[in-house]
Amino acid sequence: MTNTDSKLIKPGSTIGILGGGQLGRMIALAGRAMGYRFVTMDPTEDAPCAQTADRQIVASYDDVKAAMQLASHSDVISYEFENVDAQVAEVLESQAYVPQGSRLLRITQNRIREKTAIREIGIPVAPFCVVNSLEDLQAAVRELGLPAVMKTATGGYDGKGQWVLRSEAELTEAYETLAKAGTELIVEQFIPFQLELSVIAARNPAGELAVFPTAENIHKENILHLSIVPARVSDEVKKRAEEIARTIVEKLDVVGLIAVELFLTADDQLYVNELAPRPHNSGHYTMDACVTSQFEQHVRAVCNLPLGSTELLSPVVMVNILGEHLQPVIDRIDKLPPTAKLHLYGKAESKVKRKMGHINVLAPTVEEALAHIEELEIWTHKTEVSS
């Protein structure tokens, strides 16, 4: 690491963010409170982050000229998604200061590289095989057994680009369907997990490291629904999950934030499923329940400020507001308990399954927070979206 890699970016400086979605918006909200200025680059006019930044460059994510413009306005650059175009990453790194670098991006952009890197540092992942043909798939299934999960190596999110293989009879159809994406495929052993957990950790260029408390995550149709903190697992499991995140940060030389998603099995084994080198939906609980939010921590980390305390101040449940929940939430806004904190992302169009916001419900126990959410009767019924 060179000296320029650990320079201090002082308040008053401008932070450039590639991507203008809700994660960028919440980074900018936290950073502005600390006196930073923001410029964002996103193809959508008035994107969620643009509403909270000082300036927006309206351009697609792979627009190299626009990336140069972003670089010229920024004292430091970060990103709010991992699928950063390789050429854009190169331009930003050569024309601007990008303390997070592009090595981790390259790893997390591809499930094969990601799982290989995690396995190489001695952390368990589901056993997997790389698949480039139907014959490879058949061999992989012989080796790993069924059920198994086939995924595209790049580009998938929220369960898209995935197929749970349950019988030999579906291999041809599954292969032909996923191969259409034109990327390599990976087949993983199916992990019969009891719970999904995640841990968010941060490191600044000076090498300081901080880990947030483990979250328990409940998904509905592959989209995060609830994050419950403290997670309802033993202290020993939490400690091991947090230790895994710490090891990943140290061994992969992470700067900025990283989210580590894990599976917990009935016999208390932990497997890392996925990494995200940025703030993460399962860390939104930190905004109201921790001394420092994940967004503030991200700003502190990329600016090389001392990291903030990750102490949990209250049990909390985060519930996501998808397009179909937005109107019911607004209709029942007077029913929200006084310890519920509403966050909406300012998206112009509400669509079913689109993440529109979230609520952090604080309570003396997570059971009480879950009961408050249940009482709102918003997430129990299917509600039509009116857009």
**Interface positions with ligand AMP (CB under 6 A):** 126, 149, 156, 159, 188, 190-191, 196, 219, 222, 273-274
Least distance (Å) between residue 343 CB and ligand AMP: 22
Instruction: Using the minimum distance from each CB to ligand AMP, give the nearer residue, 9 or 129.
Output: 129
Instruction: Using the minimum distance from each CB to ligand AMP, give the nearer residue, 149 or 317.
Output: 149
Contact 54, 38 (CB under 8 A): yes
DSSP class per residue in 329-353: HHHTGGGS-TTEEEEE---S---TT
Least distance (Å) between residue 213 CB and ligand AMP: 20
């995060």: which residue's tokens? 224
228's tokens: 């419950």
Instruction: Using the minimum distance from each CB to ligand AMP, give the nearer residue, 81 or 190.
Output: 190
CA distance 115 to 111: 6
Phi/psi for 169 (5° steps) reads -65, -25
Least distance (Å) between residue 143 CB and ligand AMP: 14
Instruction: Using the minimum distance from each CB to ligand AMP, give the nearer residue, 91 or 259.
Output: 259
Instruction: Using the minimum distance from each CB to ligand AMP, give the nearer residue, 131 or 191.
Output: 191
Neighbours of 179 (CB within 10 A): 18
Least distance (Å) between residue 219 CB and ligand AMP: 5
CA distance 185 to 129: 9
| Rg of the chain over all Cα atoms, to the nearest angstrom | 21
Least distance (Å) between residue 379 CB and ligand AMP: 18
39's tokens: 């410029």
Least distance (Å) between residue 154 CB and ligand AMP: 12
> 267 by DSSP, 3-state: which?
coil
Q: Which of 185, 181, 168, 186 is nearest to 126 (CA)?
A: 186
Instruction: Using the minimum distance from each CB to ligand AMP, give the nearer residue, 79 or 163.
Output: 163
